[in-house]
Structure 1
Amino acid sequence: MSTPHTRRSFIGHAAAGFSTLALPRWGQAQPATEPAPRPAQIEHAVTAPVAIEVNARPIPAFEPRDRSRTRFGSLQYRSGLVLTSPHRGFGGLSGIRVDAKGERFLALSDQGSWFTGSIRYSGRAMVGLDDVEAAPMLNAEGRPITEKRLWYDTESLARDGNLVYVGLERVNQIMRFDFSKGGTRARGEVLPTPPAVRKLPYNKGLEALVFVPKGQPLAGTLIAFSERGLDANENLIAFLIGGPSPGQFSVRRTEKFDISDAVLLASGELLILERKFSWFTGIDIRIRSIPLKSIAPGALVDGPVLFNADLGHEVDNMEGIDAHVTAEGETVLTMISDDNFSLLQRTLLLQFTLVE
């Protein structure tokens, strides 16, 4: 029998496709008794980051049916949080990047918003978030990107130092932000991409971005994965943008899973987070490992499944994944869920240790 939270999650996924979501309001209306604000004041109110409150409830066990179990495939559960906030724009989190210590984070909402802050720990367990700020993503003119029709479905996130890349699924474009120029107030520029990127299917386009750093094969390349853009053989389309070998390749699609995010480990393994939804079984989550060295223009790549979870576990619409290495040498994976701004779904922040 499904637990109550499991049933809510399933219903939430069913309802998500039919909901119409309001965009977050970044400025607050001025009382009628105050003087009318000048244009510069209005722009600052609309675009400035705002401090927000985020509440966290611990998830003591990843599998409620067996609370003693901590090992799930190649992952060992560390801790998890259910996140809520009175801030209207909080939710829809589709990507996350953490710093080398797993403390500071940058996340994005699929409604064109940035979220920054710190993860608070007690020992190895997450217990809350501190210093959280929200801000709208800005275009080249310094205006929220959501002012332009369809420029809001921001689903993917990659980082190369101060350069931050964001994929917009509805229009299949990539924007680049230089955070050395104001952090989340940096203005984005549209990155040139191969023509085939623009031909990805509506609402099943760019879903994951990974930047390859120095010292790795394909260093300097931005790897872009589609959620469900399929090639002639029904495999998932991906792109190598820039770097030494630009081009297109495919990821073997199995069991009707779609890509939701990816992260590159220092070992050279590319971990792909995938999900599958069915009206009969609900949502399934898995992680596959693909060697970076196997990726090249024209290649079809595949790799073993490291992790599986379904609605019998503490999952929701898991859309973001990142990794960091602890002082003890453990590789920790951080995952976050997109609640679709639905009262029937949850924003989850989960952490696992990758076990050899």
Structure 2
Amino acid sequence: MRKRLTVALVALGAVLLTVSGRAESVSQIQFQSRYVWNEEFDGFGGLSAIEVAANGRDFLALTDRMTLIEGTLLRSGGRITGVSVQRHKRLQRPKGVTLKHWKRDSEGLAQQADGAFYVSLERLNQVWRYPRAFGAPTVMSSHPDFHRFAQNAGIEALAIDRRNRVYAVPEEVPDNHSQLPLYRLNSKGWQILYYIEASDGFSPVGADFGPDGLFYLLERRFSGIGFRTRLRRFDLNAFDAAGEVLLRTGIGTHDNLEGLSVWRDDAGLIRLTMIADDNFKFFQTSEIVEYIIAPASDTAHR
């Protein structure tokens, strides 16, 4: 039944991938592989974020019910062929913090080079820092906007640049702004660095900095019968609010892609690894999708 419904959703949409944006992007991003991931342990599903190590194999994945998964991507010919899970466990809460079940909505994940990582909780409108995978977190400072986010439309996209600075983008434009704020955390707290143009009904759900130093933003749009995906990138040294559209898919090409990790493989190509949230629904799919960017678009940005 699940397979038939999934096929039906795909058939209703534009199954063939459509790539748009600047002219040089049309032939530079290429679909690489798709792997449907299933596990039997309690709590698997709702995958909202992924961080892939520089080796392209080791990863952290986060569910939207605060389960962290450590594992390895199995590959053959560069394509993902399987997943090996090393361990999985519910994340700890900060000391003294209790959460009702409906507020355990962990969405964003961003990892530093030393292994420490940040998690955003969308309904709680907070960001927590974990010094290690299963240790106790610290609640980071807030921003006045964080209390103005619409219900279930807070921070889903987190990223860390090569200087270990944390960035965040909300799923929807706050009611006191006309565009999407790009927040950056520094010693004075969260500050708005730029505004990103919100367009075509797409909402930010994941982000990462690539090895090229550019900021990549994953967005999704739900049409009522399936999901569409858009991927944009931005040069924060020469900021353009519209960004460069690298990928725009038709309805049903992929499921609900929410997590993004950008890294460089052994051949020197930038890979975009994305993960889908099945919302714990039998008719949706937990899938890992990967694209590559050809060298022509991979110019140095410092």
The answer to whether TM tops 0.5 is: yes
Aligned-partner SS, 1:238: strand
String of CA shifts for 1:279-319, please: whole Å, max 9, x gaps. 3x632111011112245xxxx72212111112352x00000
Q: Report if aligned partners of 2:161, 2:213 keep a CA contact under 8 Å in 1.
A: no
Structure 1 residue 345 corresponds to structure 2 residue 284: yes
Counterpart CA distance in 2 for 1:72 and 1:92 is 31
Contact 1:63 1:312 in 2 (8 A): no
1:237 aligns with 2:181: yes
Map 1:34-183 onto structure 2 (within 5 A).
63=16, 74-141=28-95, 147-160=99-112, 161-179=114-132, 183=133
* CA distance in 2 between partners of 1:63 and 1:132 (Å): 35
Q: Structure 2: where are the runs of 5+ without partners? A: 18-24, 298-302
Of residues 264, 289, 302, the one that matches 2:209 is 264
SS of the counterpart of 2:151?
A: coil
1:328: which partner in 2?
267
Query: Structure 1 residue 305 and structure 2 residue 245: aligned?
Result: yes
Q: Name stretches of at least 5 consecutive residues in structure 1 with no aligned partner.
A: 12-61, 65-70, 215-219
CA shift, 1:277, in A, is 1.3
Q: CA RMSD in A?
A: 2.6
Task: Please state how far the C-alpha of 1:243 moved relative to its aligned partner.
Answer: 5.9
Instruction: Name the amino acid aligned to 2:109.
Output: L
Does the aligned pair in 1 maintain the 2:64–2:104 contact within 8 Å? yes
- CA gap of 1:326–1:123, structure 2 versus 1, over 3 A, is same
Correspondence for 1:253 among 198, 202, 217: 198
Q: Counterpart of 2:55 in structure 1: which amino acid?
A: K
Structure 1: distance between partners of 2:16 and 2:65:
31
Q: Distance in 2 between matches of 1:148 and 1:245?
A: 27
Conserved in 2, the CA contact under 8 Å of 1:146 and 1:152? no
Change (3 A) 1:290 1:89: same
User: What secondary structure is seen at the aligned counterpart in 2 of 1:135?
Assistant: strand
Counterpart AA for 2:209: L
Shifted more, 248-257 versus 202-211: the winner is 248-257
**Max Rg structure:** 1
- Amino acid paired to 1:290: F
TM (norm. structure 1) is 0.72
| Structure-1 residue corresponding to 2:22 | none
Q: How does 1:180-329 map to 2 (within 5 A)?
A: 183=133, 185-214=134-163, 220-230=164-174, 232=176, 234-242=178-186, 247-248=191-192, 249-279=194-224, 282-294=226-238, 301-313=241-253, 315-329=254-268
Measured against aligned partners, the alpha-carbon deviations of 1:52-80 in whole angstroms (never above 9, x if no partner) come to xxxxxxxxxx849xxxxxx9764212211
| Structure 1 residues 209 and 63: CA distance shift in structure 2, 3 A | same
Cα distance in 2 between the residues matched to 1:189 and 1:247:
19
Scaled by the length of structure 2, the TM-score of the pair is: 0.85
Matched, 1:7 2:8: yes
Q: For 2:172, what is the secondary structure of its paired residue?
A: strand
324-333 or 195-204, which moves further after superposition? 195-204
CA 1:135–1:73: 2 relative to 1, 3 Å: farther
CA distance in 2, matches of 1:136, 1:264: 26
- Partner of 2:6: helix, strand, or coil? helix
| Residues 264 and 341 (structure 1), Cα distance of their counterparts in 2 relative to 1, 3 Å cut | same
Identity %: 27
